[in-house]
Amino acid sequence: MEKNHPISDLMATTMQKIREMVDVNTIVGTPIQTGDGVTLIPVSRLSFGFASGGSDFATKAQKPDAENSFGGGSGAGVNISPVAFLIVRGDNVKLLPVAPPAGSAVDRVVELVPEMFDKVTDYLEKNKKEDNQGF
């Protein structure tokens, strides 16, 4: 049986702890039902990192054929930031950003594209219904 190096155990433990902290419910939260048929779904941004390191070293009292001693450590950091809420009302879904408004005109135009697309689609569907009723 092959013996694992202690750094493998150290990294495995660190990754297991991160998995315990972070799951899909961390990013897309549990839906919140309101009394009037509206569902709010929180959406978050998640970033994390971890580092692990160690060193094998010989001790003064070590026998020539003995394995080296090992010293190591690991650490992890997680950042969770709320991004938006999905608002579900019947068949309609709207994204409500939590972040402040866009800083430049280009950013604002990019943010407005989905809303403008919905308005144009609604307008075209309305005109199509009116045309069909005329015949």
pLDDT score, position 41: 92
Sheet bearing 38-57, strands edge to edge: 32-33, 38-57, 69-89, 92-97
pLDDT tens track for 59-77 = 777 777 777 778 888 877 8
Residue 40, judged by CB atoms within 10 A of its CB (0-12, 13-18, 19+), counts as middle
What's phi and psi for 45, nearest 5 deg?
Answer: -100, 135
28 and 41 in contact (C-beta within 8 Å)? yes
CA distances from 102 to 2, 69, 119 (A): 56, 55, 21
Beta bridge partners of 57: 69
Tokens in use for 19? 């998995």
Q: What is the pTM of this model?
A: 0.49
Tokens in use for 111? 């943010």
Would you say residue 105 has pLDDT above 80?
no
pLDDT tens track for 8-49 = 887 788 778 777 777 667 788 889 998 888 999 999 888 878
